[in-house]
């Protein structure tokens, strides 16, 4: 029988040859595309995070501004209510002023007719039918003609006449008789 040794002789060492890796262009292109896509994704993720941070900060600012504007809106509504209330009061006063007649109109006219910076004291005012009698006294008799002129210019008296003037000590007592243009109203 013949024996054949199929195994190599271990005594003689042979050099082993290795396969050299070869780099294919397609593999390099694929690797470059993967790296480029990864870089683009990283840059996109960074930008999105920056936009989220900026958006969050802007949202916080807008919420603060919204709260401030809501407070201002409430104040404006409060002041609008006060303004409307005051306008209503003014309208009521003006309506009452327009509706004044008789004694109120007469007293307002007499008060407006008093000369400024003059010491005139009215003691009585009587209205009978178409005439009004005004009695008073003053320390300056020279203001009585001013009072008469003002009453005549008021437009509610047809004539203003001096009925009486008396001088006592430092004061002058006077009495004016005024004729009304309008018929007196029963009140």
pLDDT per residue as tens, the chain (187 positions): 677 666 665 555 656 677 777 778 888 899 999 999 999 999 999 999 999 999 999 999 999 999 999 999 999 999 999 999 999 999 998 888 777 666 777 888 888 888 888 788 999 988 888 889 999 999 888 899 999 999 999 888 889 999 999 998 889 999 999 998 875 454 4
| Confidence (pLDDT) at 49 | 97
d(CA 55, CA 183): 79
pLDDT at 101: 65
The runs of H, that is alpha helices, within 99-131 are 103-113
Give the pLDDT confidence score for residue 106 in this predicted structure.
81
pLDDT value of position 34: 96
10 Å CB burial of residue 55 (0-12, 13-18, 19+) is: exposed
Residue 5 DSSP symbol: -
Predicted local distance difference test score (pLDDT) of residue 12:
56
Answer yes or no: are the C-beta atoms of 138 and 172 closer than 8 Å.
Answer: yes
Pairing of strands 157-168, 171-180: antiparallel
Provide the whole-model pTM: 0.46
At residue 187, the pLDDT reads 44
For residue 184, what pLDDT is reported? 47
Q: Which pLDDT belongs to residue 58?
A: 97
Please list the alpha-helical segments (H only) found in the chain. Answer: 25-98, 103-113, 144-153
**Residue 42, token pair as written in the block:** 């990283």
């Amino acid at each position: 029988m013949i024996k054949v040794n199929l195994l190599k002789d271990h005594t003689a060492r042979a050099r082993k040859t290795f396969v050299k890796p070869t780099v294919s262009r397609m593999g390099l292109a694929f690797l470059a595309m993967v790296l480029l896509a990864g870089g683009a994704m990283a840059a996109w993720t960074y930008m999105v995070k920056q936009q989220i941070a900026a958006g969050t900060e802007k949202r916080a600012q807008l919420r603060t501004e919204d709260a401030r504007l809501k407070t201002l809106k409430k104040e404006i509504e409060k002041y609008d209510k006060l303004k409307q209330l005051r306008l209503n009061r003014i309208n009521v006063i003006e309506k009452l002023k327009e509706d004044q007649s008789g004694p109120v109109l007469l007293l307002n006219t007499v008060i407006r007719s008093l000369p400024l910076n003059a010491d005139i004291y009215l003691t009585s005012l009587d209205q009978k039918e178409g005439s009004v009698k005004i009695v008073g006294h003053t320390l300056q008799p020279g203001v009585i003609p001013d009072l008469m002129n003002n009453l005549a210019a008021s437009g509610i008296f047809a004539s203003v006449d001096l009925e009486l003037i008396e001088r006592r000590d430092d004061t002058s007592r006077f009495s004016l008789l005024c004729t009304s243009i309008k018929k007196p109203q029963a009140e």
